[in-house]
Amino acid sequence: MVSYIYDRAAGIRVSGSAADIARRGREVDRSGLRPGDLVFFNTRNAPFSHVGIYIGDERFVHAPSGSGRVRIDRLGARYYAQRFETARSYFD
């Protein structure tokens, strides 16, 4: 999902697993998140196993494995707050 949206909306090519994508980009402090930044979580007991796109107001869009759907969740939701690892930006 992230690769598709970044390519279509910004012409930026990102590829690979969530962990691969997390290794690139500029680190962003959670308090400095801007819409379009990527947020990474440890959801499978593995670092950077899930990624979403921050959309503002402490919310992010993502496609949870196995759901077949794209959805919006809050960074502060207990499940994601406990699993948040880092954020990266591919924008200046």
Domain-embedded: residue 6: no
- Mean pLDDT to the nearest integer, 68-72: 93
Q: Tell whether the model's pLDDT for residue 81 goes beyond 90.
A: yes
Q: Residues near 58 by Cβ (< 8 Å), separated by ≥ 6?
A: 74, 75, 76
CA dist 58 and 9 (Å) reads: 21
How many structural domains does the chain have?
1
Partner residues linked to 26 by β-bridges:
89
Domain-embedded: residue 49: yes
CATH of the domain at 50: 3.90.1720.10
Residues 11-65: tens digit of each pLDDT: 999 999 999 999 999 999 999 999 999 999 999 999 999 999 999 999 999 998 8
CA dist 72 and 6 (Å) reads: 17
Domain that holds residue 21: 17-89
Domain-embedded: residue 66: yes
Alpha helices in the chain (DSSP H): 2-10, 18-22, 78-83
CA dist 29 and 2 (Å) reads: 20
Task: Provide the whole-model pTM.
Answer: 0.94
